[in-house]
Chain A
Amino acid sequence: MNYYATVNNTLEFIKENALIVGIIAAFCVVAITVGMWKVFQKAGKHPWMAVIPFARDYTLTEIGSTGLIGVLAYVILPILGIINLNGIRYFYDLNKGASKPIYAILFVLGTIFLAIALFFHVLSSIKLSNAFEKGTGFLIGLILLPPVFLLILGLDQSKYVRSVSTSLGLKASRAISNTLIYIVLVIMAIIWLVPFVCIVLQSFRTESTWSVGYVLPKQWGFQNYVDLWNSNFKRWYLNTFIIALIVAALQTIIVLCMSYTLSRFRFKLRKGLMQFMLILGMFPGMLTMIILYRVLKDLGLTESHAVPGLVLVYIASSGMGYYVSKGFFDTIPKSLDEAARVDGATRAQVLYKIILPLAKPIVIYTILTAFMAPWGDFVFAKYVSFEDPVGMNVAVGLWKWLTPDMINQRYTMFCAGGVIVAIPVAVLFMCLQKYYVEGVTGGAVKG
């Protein structure tokens, strides 16, 4: 409790003695700038770097030869420290009234960042005093009162020594860079997870159904999921599931036929066919939508009967996506085929008995991507279903819930729906991740 009071008292003190604090601050700024100017001159760097905010810290670390690590310490971490200041302030404010856990989190994070920034400050001070061959006393001064001692360092007779044999070995510097990487990774992990955590939390919010500016629900409950069960969502989910299953099966067969043929057979039009499909792929696929819609409409496969229509559209042109699996088939040695052919197998038998068992990873990759695509398809589904309540897939249905005239009633239901859609797909993906990675990297390497 006292800690927060101290912080508050300090803030109060600053407010009351604004003039003195201002003068001291101005002195510090001037002293640091002048000190750095001189230090830079001595070290043979551009002295005017001392007035450019971040460049100045960078040059300082260059002199101490802390390298990239020092830059990170000086530039990024102080910014993060600001979060901490806000954390403290609000933690104190809210300590009097209602408290919000998010501030505690920010406070803890910010404190960690500040501590690390301090660590690097100490580190670069060590390096700097080493570079000018100063003693321990001076080092302590540089750590505690940077403005004053930087000024001294700049003005006194000491010389810059280029060979910096620091006490910090290779091991320590690796530890430092690893620490920094961990920090970046943790921050990234938070950024990547936040939307998904938020959507799960909001799906349990029952006090209101519209979009709000806070994360933690005030009342928890399963109301949104119950509402979801009573809405058309069931139908959309089933539509999408059926589409995904059929597409996964048929598309896999088509893609495998296509890629196997293009990889293994050398027939007259092979090159021409591949070039032709490359050129076809440069047309925006959306162009074909207008006519496909009219044709499907004549066949009665739009709006409430959109499911077969969509299946047709998805699988019909799937042969064009043969690149990745063709790349895989290319890696299976041809001598296997030839050996089997010598033993009297037909081409078809070679495919079923020899190649397919070897191609398991790419088959799984194809099934996985074919199954996942219909869950996310938006354009064709929107066009073909024409936003008909029973013909839509989940993507269009949930998109519709976020349009301006529905969002206030459906926002939390959207979150619940998103969770229900995401969980099975994500679990499936995570289980088969290995195959996906193989396919993606193989495909990219071969182009």
Chain B
Amino acid sequence: MKRYTDMEYLRLPKGRKLLYKIAAFFCAIPRALKNGALGIVRAIGNFFRSIGLEFADIFKTFVNGDWKTKLSFFVMGFGNIARGQILRGLLFLLFEAAFIFYMIFAGAKWLSMLPSLGKVGPHEVYNAVLDTHTTEYGDNSFKILLYGVLTVFFIVAFIYTWRVNIKQNKIAEQILKSGKPLKSGKDDLRSLVDDSFHRTLLALPLTGILIFTVMPIVFMILVAFTNYSGSNDGYFNSLFTWVGLENFNTVLSWNGSGGVYSATFGEVLTWTLIWAFFATFTNYFLGMFVAMMINKKGIRLKKVWRTILVLTIAIPQFISLLYVSKMFDKNGIVNGLLKDLGIIDHVIDFWGSTAHDAILPRVMVIVINIWIGIPYLMLIATGILMNIPADLYESAKIDGASGWKQFSKITLPYMLFITGPYLLTSFTGNMNNFNVIYLLTGGNPINNAASSAAGSVGYTDLLITWLFKITTTTGTKYYMASVIGILVFIVVALISLVVYNVLPSIKNEEDFQ
């Protein structure tokens, strides 16, 4: 692609300018991808380099340190206690004791079973007393995987703490050498509300995130490499095991038994992207339009209009969504009214029942999403529009710019600049917009061709509702759900990466300030 200088660009005719901009956007994508990839490679390089440095530092500390430090390598916190920092030392010691205790009595067992995910499944045992066969349960793959992951977490935490312990010894030695006193336990406690107050504040939130988000996500990523499902539940029916990349092959290969899955995935992904595009941009522009109408000079009752629109935010979404979905039902109010008015003779099946009328439900969810989304955008746009300097408009008026010119040259660029990041998050948010789809259509109309193999999937299903259905309907192929979850993550991450690299508000941050 030929690159123009700024002067050349300004001299281009209008249509060419637009084409050039579009071409430039797409040309920037490979570069953005390349930059992203390079960044990752560089980050990995840095990571290994810093690990090397750490090892070197540990080694040096051991060689140069005194006997207290050397002993601390094996008995954590010894150096602290020996130097008078009893509280810290005790905490280290306690942690080490807990770790060793856990590893001996539980951790080692879970860790050793992690590669196989259990050997003894449920089996029939002859019961001599009752003279019958009863089922005896063996290992629990789910627990093995869960506690295996927890044990790995624990080991990592231990290694980190061990490293901190060594570092502290080194620092303590240095401080003592320079003749200053060490911090006492009292000082440590005080620093928790002062210098290291951030540790106190972050402790609770981060623990929650670690246990309820990070751990489950790691677990579910691992599940994608197993055959964990309703029938292979790991305890009652049969064990589950590692299957390697088989599940990814099923979803991504275009032949064999996976063909249905990959075709369905392609279809659902396409619709998800279409939906996210329309749901984001229709709301964005219409919301902005409504905000401009309400904010226009001379319009009275501004508060009333806003309040009426904001009702859809104030009332819990599930009520309005469920009710609206019933309003457009075959025997709902809308059909009844249209019939009474003589506009239609036969009821319109807004939600569709066969593959033929898949278009109407798709349009309907987008339209109803406009109804839901305009108020949010109106609120946001109102706030931003009020911040646009009024003198911009005045000078434009003096130069004879029409209303449309003012909008396209002042309002729109300003809005886009400010709300660029918001557009991105709302796009990815819409990709995962479970409530609107599930409560309005439930993903229907059903896609019969795909449903037999890929769990009951419909034409309005997004990836996220499909994922939900896979985990709840018959078969409950959890492994498939987590494969799809991972793919959703990859799509979202890719889009975010590209957009962040191209977005003007990040590239030239000072433009509008």
Contact = CB atoms under 8 A, between A and B. Distances in A.
A433 B311 CA distance: 11
Interface in A363-419: 372, 375-376, 378-379, 383, 394-395, 398-399, 402, 407, 411, 414-415, 418
A317 interface: yes
B157 interface: no
Interface of A: 68, 83, 86, 89-90, 100, 102, 106, 174, 178, 181-182, 184-185, 188-189, 191-193, 195-196, 198-199, 211-215, 254-255, 257-258, 260-261, 265, 267, 277, 279-280, 282-292, 294-295, 312-313, 315-320, 346-348, 351, 372, 375-376, 378-379, 383, 394-395, 398-399, 402, 407, 411, 414-415, 418, 421-422, 425-426, 429-430, 433, 436-437, 440-442, 444-445, 447
Given A86-B341, A195-B324, A287 B208 contact: no
A151 B360 CA distance: 42
Interface string B337-373: 1011111000000000000000000000000000100
Interface in B301-332: 305, 307-320, 322-324, 326-327, 329, 331-332
B299 interface: yes
B439 interface: yes
Given A399-B318, A447-B425, A290 B212 contact: no
Given A346-B193, A436-B313, A440-B379, 20 more contacts: A86-B343, A178-B296, A185-B293, A212-B333, A261-B198, A280-B214, A283-B488, A288-B216, A290-B220, A317-B212, A378-B318, A378-B438, A395-B316, A414-B322, A422-B314, A433-B314, A437-B379, A437-B383, A440-B376, A447-B505
Nearest to B376: A440
Contact of A320 (B213, B324, B489): B213
A213 B331 contact: yes
B310 A433 contact: yes
B319 to A, nearest CB: 4
Given A399-B318, A445-B384, A289 B493 contact: no
A402 B208 contact: no
B209 interface: yes
A288 B337 CA distance: 44
Contacts of A436: 313, 379
B419 interface: yes
20 contacts: A68-B403, A86-B342, A192-B309, A195-B320, A196-B320, A212-B333, A213-B337, A214-B340, A215-B333, A282-B493, A287-B485, A288-B212, A288-B213, A291-B220, A292-B212, A317-B212, A319-B206, A429-B313, A440-B379, A442-B383
A313 B209 CA distance: 10
B468 A198 contact: no
A398 B326 CA distance: 13
B217 A283 contact: yes
A212 B220 contact: no
B276 to A, nearest CB: 13
Interface of B: 142, 146, 190, 193-195, 197-198, 200-202, 204-206, 208-209, 211-217, 219-220, 223, 290, 293-294, 296, 298-299, 305, 307-320, 322-324, 326-327, 329, 331-333, 335-337, 339-343, 371, 376, 379-380, 382-384, 403-404, 418-422, 425, 428, 432, 434-435, 438-439, 463-464, 467-468, 471-472, 478, 481-482, 485, 488-489, 492-493, 496, 505
A188 B306 CA distance: 11
A347 B419 CA distance: 34
Given A261-B198, A280-B209, A174 B342 contact: no
A291 B146 contact: yes
Nearest to B425: A447
A352 to B, nearest CB: 10
A349 to B, nearest CB: 8
A422 B333 contact: no
Nearest to B145: A291
B482 to A, nearest CB: 6
B485 A261 contact: no
B485 A213 contact: no
A329 to B, nearest CB: 12
A411 B336 CA distance: 16
A338 B383 CA distance: 31
Given A215-B333, A260-B201, A191 B298 contact: no
Contacts of A425: 314-316
B212 A279 contact: no
Contact of B341 (A90, A267, A394): A90
Contact of A316 (B208, B315, B331, B425): B208
B216 A292 contact: yes
A102 B342 CA distance: 13
Contact of A286 (B197, B331, B464): B464
A319 B208 contact: yes
A97 to B, nearest CB: 13
A402 B376 CA distance: 27
A348 B194 contact: yes
